[in-house]
Amino acid sequence: MRTRQIALIVLIAVIAAFVWHLRSSRVAKFQRARREAAYRESAAAIETVIQPGMTRSDVEQILRIRSLPFNTRYGLGVVDDFVPLAHEASTTWFCGWDQVMVLIEFRPELPSGTQGHPNDIVKNVSLDHWAKDCL
């Protein structure tokens, strides 16, 4: 009789833990979707002002006038600007966090430049997640 009671208590505890985990993961998924929608709205607002074909100097001037902080991301022969929006917990186990940003991709004026040229042309504006602190 005593063994059955203990087994029943353990079973109830396991079921309660499972239900709690299921609910908390659904709440987290809902909250993440809500934040993602807000990021898309921010990206769309920036896309209405910064459009393909604009020069880097025009883009950076617009960002400064609107007091939007921006940084530069250097890649392999590509120098892009981005407007940081938020830091999110990473969706992968091997990265620490994701930087959510509006990425402004440029077509370089000069080939394989290490710095952005004022006459670089906007190629694309998009929402991007950049994984940081990865193994």
- Sequence spans of domains, the chain: 2-134
Reference 102, options 49, 53, 44, 61; nearest CA is 44
Q: What percent of the chain has pLDDT over 90?
A: 58
**In a structure prediction context, what are the per-residue pLDDT tens digits for the chain, which is 135 residues long?**
788 899 899 999 999 999 998 898 899 889 989 999 999 999 999 999 999 999 999 999 999 999 999 998 887 767 899 999 999 988 788 998 999 999 999 988 776 556 778 889 999 999 999 888 888
pLDDT in tens, 92-117: 889 989 999 999 999 887 765 567 78
Burial class of residue 55 (count of CB atoms within 10 Å of its CB; 0-12, 13-18, 19+): middle
